[in-house]
């Protein structure tokens, strides 16, 4: 077979090939986007669940979501930080202001800033990406 004997150009085949390439690229882009966004979605969901429990006065559930070690952070300490006698008082409203990586990146968790009861001093929380364990962000 020589160049002059080549098969004629098949438009339908070329169109199918281009469509397959486009679909593959879109699937890869969607996968990468989901991979990068998923920790933020999980963190937002965990923080919302935690604060919803506090708003409804379900402190046992909130303590469970916090995933505290009872030996180092007892329920009494939790109630001092999050109960009606805390610095924020009884939590009635909250809004997540920001979810971000800490400075320096490459960390195991995310920093969440939450405005509680409209007070302009945001609660700074740390949420582990894999376990969704919560704690106060110290920096």
Q: Measured between alpha carbons, how far is 14 from 60 in angstroms, rounded to an integer?
A: 62
Q: Which domains does the chain have, with CATH numbers?
A: 40-136 (3.10.450)
Instruction: List, for residues 90-131, the tens digit of each pLDDT value.
Output: 999 999 999 998 888 778 899 999 999 888 788 899 999 888
- According to DSSP, residue 110 is labeled E
User: 3-class secondary structure for 89-104?
Assistant: CCCCCEEEEEEECCCC
Q: State how far the Cα of 28 lies from the Cα of 25, in Å rounded to an integer.
A: 5
What confidence tier does 41 reach under pLDDT thresholds 50, 70, 90?
A: very high
Q: What pTM value is reported for the model? A: 0.77
Q: Is the pLDDT of residue 20 over 70?
A: yes
What H or E segment, with its residue span, contains residue 50?
helix 11-55
Stretch 84-91: mean pLDDT, rounded?
88
pLDDT band per the 50, 70, 90 thresholds, residue 4: confident
For residue 121 the two structure tokens come to: 């001093």
Q: How far apart are CA 14 and CA 11, in angstroms?
A: 5
Q: What's residue 3's pLDDT?
A: 66
Inform me whether the pLDDT recorded for 1 exceeds 70: no
Q: Cα–Cα distances in Å, from 95 out to 4, 36, 47, 88, 100?
A: 71, 23, 10, 14, 15
């Amino acid at each position: 077979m020589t160049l002059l004997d080549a098969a004629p150009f098949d438009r339908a085949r070329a169109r199918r090939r281009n469509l397959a390439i486009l679909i593959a690229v879109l699937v890869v882009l969607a996968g990468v986007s989901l991979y990068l966004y998923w920790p933020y979605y999980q963190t937002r969901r965990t923080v919302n669940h935690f604060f919803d429990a506090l708003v409804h006065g379900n402190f046992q559930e909130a303590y469970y979501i916090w995933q505290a070690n009872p030996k180092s952070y007892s329920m009494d300490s939790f109630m001092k930080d999050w109960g009606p006698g805390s610095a924020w008082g009884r939590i009635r409203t909250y809004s997540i202001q920001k979810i971000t990586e800490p400075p320096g990146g490459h960390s195991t968790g995310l920093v969440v800033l939450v405005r509680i009861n409209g007070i302009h001093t945001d609660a700074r929380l740390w949420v582990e990406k894999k376990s969704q364990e919560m704690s106060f962000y110290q920096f």
